[in-house]
Amino acid sequence: MLNVPPQAFPAPGSQQRVAASGRAKVPLKPGRSLMDWIRLTKSGKDLTGLKGRLVEVTEDELAKHNKKEDCWICIRGFVYNVTPYMEYHPGGEDELMKAAGTDGTDLFDQVHRWVNYESMLKECLVGRMAVKPIAAPKEISSTLSEEKKQLNGMLSEKGVLGASTKDVMLSYDWFQTDSLITIVIYTKQKDLNAELVIVDCQDKRLRGEIIIDDHSYLVEVDLYHAVQEDLAVNITEKVGKVEIILKKNDNIHWKMLGQPLENHNTFIKRTDRGQFYRKCKLVSKTEVTHDTKLFCLMLPKSTHLHVPTGQHVYLKQIIAGTEVVKPYTPVLPFLPLDFKEPSCHDGAHIYLMIKIYSCGPFTQALEHLQVGDYISVSNPEGNFKKSQVQTSEDLFLLAAGTGFTPMVKLLDFALTEVSCLRTAVPELEVATADRVMTFRREVTSPTDFQVQQERYSIELVTKKIEQTNKMTVKLIFFNKTEDDILWRNQLEQLALKDKRFEVKFILSQPTKDWMGKEGKISSSLLSEFVKRSSKYSKVLICICGPTPFTEQGVQYLKDLGYSQEEIHAFTA
Ligand code: FAD
Ligand code: NAP
């Protein structure tokens, strides 16, 4: 049994007045917490008013149920009577009423696509929307049946279902040796990398997803025969080719690759793909502060997954019989102090730094997980792009509490890769190129001395370019007390070791011994700590924390003259 304490809202002294969705949480009445809702759904009470009957709902019928005391909402073709849920909705009744009597799918997706409504609202299901008959587009249905017949061969490009307006050509093929099955996906995308390829193979079910901008291509097959647990993924970046290599269980000849599953060979918007979860083993749980722990999860051998910098995953747990989902941002096992080489991530583990709330059902359940237990982890999501960092000269990271988590990989990325990748300052680059050209033109047969001298002066200019080119990273870390500061020692050590990095701790509830800065996010604090290193330097300011913190911060920064492009706010 889970030991989940009863909750009172707003929690006494709780400063977290926001929902993970990015919407303000409203104070819920006593007895209206998530756990209370779960208890109500298990009570056997008739929550739809239909005595367990499922009905087909027309648009006209749906529209009639548009009042607080009688509210139906349609999500992805299923209609729910959310009247009993009104008082339990963390975002408040008014938010829910925005979709009353209508199709709320888009609104739901905008706010919290990841929430498992099927499970949360299971007892509120009224039925399906009555569908107006639409003739299936001919080529798609014929392609589907063609495809079912010929899965053991190469597919034509028109076999890509649901292709958008984007001009993307995708296809796949497969071949075998005595011991291996190799599935080759051709994307023709030049910048394909390991983070854009997610592969899972569970019980003969193979799922290979390729991310191309905001779209996703999927190969999903029920394999003809069983394969071994470990698989390999090879990516040829230059031509955008992906090879998924499976080891046969028995060295027999396969007549075909297998049966296509529902979403096989589709290329659709990422937001239209359902979340996919795999079970990961908890291998360690270590203390970071009095209330925050570092969870190390091991991916199955049959999974290829790298969570990109700035993205999060969803964890799914069954809490008192109901599936509950929450987002978490993977970090590194520790802050590397030597940023010369890109950090070597083994690809087999995901590290999560999680604050355990005494009144938080999800984190209480995580707290009760034992080493060796399994938990479901989703594919990554998030809209942060590394290129935002690559083109900046000053990087500011504004973090509050666990809002520090996305900053960890970001810091690592900025200090390892960016200084090497950044292009030189244009004027100096031109100056160097000019010098070389002049030298070549004017000195047709140079003496060794002339060559050496010129080489020396070019080196000097290049050094100057490198110095000008070094990125500076400043972390401004807001916490309540000293005890709440995550990885304080590591951050201080890093600041001592690497002159490009600076950290400032700001406490909102310090003890009287605190010698550092005190306060909350404000315009004056930001104007003191966030400054361009030169008049025209390009800055990127990343901000993450409780939603009101983030929203206020963004507003202050805009008031201080920073543009929307210079600010990235992490939200769900
Ligand atoms: P909750 O039930 O959400 O409660 C948390 C706190 O809020 C408690 O103090 C509770 O008393 C209070 N509270 C709850 N509801 C109300 C209400 N209606 N009114 C007032 N107070 C209320 N967290 C991490 O620790 N690490 C991460 O890496 C991380 N990454 C995230 C990434 C994203 C994109 C987002 C959006 C959030 C992330 N979070 C992270 C937060 C995480 O998803 C959960 O919100 C958090 O773990 C709390 O979950 P819970 O169910 O245990 O607690
Ligand atoms: P916390 O300890 O409650 O607060 C950290 C600091 O932020 C404190 O100084 C606190 O000051 C201040 N703060 C809190 N609420 C504020 C507000 N409304 N306005 C201004 N300052 C405020 O924080 P936490 O419990 O770790 O929570 C971290 C939050 O970050 C969670 O909401 C989590 O969902 C979010 N998060 C988001 C992401 C993402 O990617 N979107 C990732 C990780 C975490 P006070 O003294 O006033 O409390």
Helix (H, G, I), strand (E, B) or coil at 174: strand
Q: Give the residue-averaged pLDDT of 385-403.
A: 92
Q: Give the residue-averaged pLDDT of 12-30.
A: 50
Q: Is 315 in the pocket of ligand 1 (CB under 6 A)?
A: no
Nearest residue (CA) to ligand 1, atom 32: 328
Nearest residue (CA) to ligand 2, atom 43: 403
Q: Is 266 in the pocket of ligand 1 (CB under 6 A)?
A: no
Position 76 pLDDT exceeds 90: no
Q: What percent of the chain is helix, strand and coil (3-state, nearest 5)?
A: 30, 30, 40
Task: Using DSSP bridges, classify how beta strands 567-569 and 539-544 pair: parallel, antiparallel or unpaired.
Answer: parallel
CA atoms within 13 A on the CB side of 505: 21
Nearest residue (CA) to ligand 1, atom 50: 360
Tell me, what's the pLDDT at 154? 39
Distance from the alpha carbon of residue 371 to the mean position of ligand 1, in angstroms: 23
Distance from the alpha carbon of residue 423 to the mean position of ligand 2, in angstroms: 36
CA distances for 29 relative to 9, 12, 32, 36, 69, angstroms: 6, 13, 6, 11, 17
Q: Is 396 in the pocket of ligand 1 (CB under 6 A)?
A: no
Q: Give the residue-averaged pLDDT of 185-198.
A: 89
Quick one: which atom of ligand 1 is closest to the CA of 16? 7
Q: Which residue's entry shows tokens 């929450």?
A: 326
Q: Give the residue-averaged pLDDT of 408-414.
A: 94
Q: Is 9 in the pocket of ligand 1 (CB under 6 A)?
A: yes
Q: Give the residue-averaged pLDDT of 451-468.
A: 55
CA distance 235 to 254: 24
Q: Is 362 in the pocket of ligand 2 (CB under 6 A)?
A: no
Q: Is 5 in the pocket of ligand 1 (CB under 6 A)?
A: no
Distance from the alpha carbon of residue 404 to the mean position of ligand 2, in angstroms: 10
Nearest residue (CA) to ligand 2, atom 20: 549
Tell me, what's the pLDDT at 119? 86
Position 169 confidence tier, pLDDT thresholds 50, 70, 90: confident
Q: Is 353 in the pocket of ligand 1 (CB under 6 A)?
A: yes
Position 156 confidence tier, pLDDT thresholds 50, 70, 90: very low
**Residues with Cβ < 8 Å from 220, sequence gap 6 or more?**
205, 206, 207, 208, 260, 261, 262, 263, 264
Helical segments of 417-506, H only:
419-421, 426-442, 448-469, 488-497
* 423-432, Cβ contacts within 8 angstroms, sequence gap of 24 or more: 424/465, 424/469, 425/465, 425/468, 425/469, 428/461, 428/464, 428/465, 428/468, 429/465, 431/461, 432/458, 432/461, 432/462, 432/465
Quick one: which atom of ligand 1 is closest to the CA of 356? 52
> What are the tens digits of pLDDT across the range 525-570?
999 999 988 888 889 999 999 999 999 999 999 999 999 999 999 9
Q: Which of 296, 357, 543, 568 to mutate to test the pocket of ligand 1 (most atoms within 8 A of CB)?
A: 357
Q: Is 310 in the pocket of ligand 2 (CB under 6 A)?
A: no
> What are the tens digits of pLDDT across the range 351-383?
999 999 999 999 999 999 999 999 999 999 999
Q: Is 319 in the pocket of ligand 2 (CB under 6 A)?
A: no
CA distance 470 to 422: 9
Position 452 confidence tier, pLDDT thresholds 50, 70, 90: low
Q: Is 404 in the pocket of ligand 2 (CB under 6 A)?
A: no
Tell me, what's the pLDDT at 564? 94
Helix (H, G, I), strand (E, B) or coil at 82: coil
Q: Is 361 in the pocket of ligand 1 (CB under 6 A)?
A: yes
Position 305 pLDDT exceeds 90: yes
Distance from the alpha carbon of residue 188 to the mean position of ligand 1, in angstroms: 41
Beta carbons within 10 angstroms of residue 47's beta carbon: 21
In this structure, which ligand is nearest to the CA of 353?
Answer: 1
Tell me, what's the pLDDT at 327? 96
CA distances for 457 relative to 86, 423, 426, 442, angstroms: 73, 20, 18, 16
Position 97 pLDDT exceeds 50: yes
Nearest residue (CA) to ligand 2, atom 32: 546
Q: Is 550 in the pocket of ligand 1 (CB under 6 A)?
A: no
> What are the tens digits of pLDDT across the range 213-267?
889 999 999 999 999 999 999 998 878 899 999 999 998 999 999 999 999 999 9
Position 387 confidence tier, pLDDT thresholds 50, 70, 90: confident
Helix (H, G, I), strand (E, B) or coil at 105: helix
Q: Is 14 in the pocket of ligand 2 (CB under 6 A)?
A: no
pTM, full prediction: 0.79
CA 197 to mean position of chain CA atoms: 14
Tell me, what's the pLDDT at 306? 95
Amino acid (one-letter) located at 476: I
> What are the tens digits of pLDDT across the range 416-446?
877 533 333 444 444 554 555 555 555 555 5
Contact present, 377 and 467 (Cβ < 8 Å): no
Q: Give the residue-averaged pLDDT of 189-206.
A: 92
DSSP state of 98: T
Q: Name which of 164, 129, 393, 366 is nearest 269 in CA terms.
A: 164
Q: Is 15 in the pocket of ligand 1 (CB under 6 A)?
A: no
Least confident of 43-52, 346-355, 455-464: 455-464
Tell me, what's the pLDDT at 167? 55
Tell me, what's the pLDDT at 92? 87
> What are the tens digits of pLDDT across the range 264-291?
999 999 888 888 999 999 999 999 999 9
Quick one: which atom of ligand 2 is closest to the CA of 355? 26
Q: Is 549 in the pocket of ligand 2 (CB under 6 A)?
A: yes
Distance from the alpha carbon of residue 235 to the mean position of ligand 1, in angstroms: 37
Cα separation of the two ends of the chain: 30
Q: Give the residue-averaged pLDDT of 156-171.
A: 52
Position 161 confidence tier, pLDDT thresholds 50, 70, 90: very low
Beta carbons within 10 angstroms of residue 135's beta carbon: 6
Tell me, what's the pLDDT at 139? 33
Position 403 confidence tier, pLDDT thresholds 50, 70, 90: very high
Q: Name which of 363, 387, 405, 414 is nearest 544 in CA terms.
A: 405
Quick one: which atom of ligand 2 is closest to the CA of 572? 41
DSSP state of 154: P
Tell me, what's the pLDDT at 419? 57
In this structure, which ligand is nearest to the CA of 351?
Answer: 1
Position 72 pLDDT exceeds 90: yes
Q: Which of 14, 36, 324, 378 to mutate to test the pocket of ligand 1 (most atoms within 8 A of CB)?
A: 14
Q: Give the residue-averaged pLDDT of 299-322.
A: 95
Nearest residue (CA) to ligand 1, atom 20: 10
Q: Give the residue-averaged pLDDT of 37-65.
A: 89
> What are the tens digits of pLDDT across the range 478-489?
999 999 999 999
Position 117 confidence tier, pLDDT thresholds 50, 70, 90: confident
Q: In this structure, what token pair is assigned to residue 18?
A: 């926001």
In this structure, which ligand is nearest to the CA of 114?
Answer: 1
Tell me, what's the pLDDT at 155? 40
Position 399 confidence tier, pLDDT thresholds 50, 70, 90: very high
Distance from the alpha carbon of residue 310 to the mean position of ligand 2, in angstroms: 17
Q: Which of 7, 290, 359, 543 to mutate to test the pocket of ligand 1 (most atoms within 8 A of CB)?
A: 359
Question: What is the percent of the chain with per-residue pLDDT over 70, rounded to a whole number?
Answer: 78
Distance from the alpha carbon of residue 365 to the mean position of ligand 2, in angstroms: 21
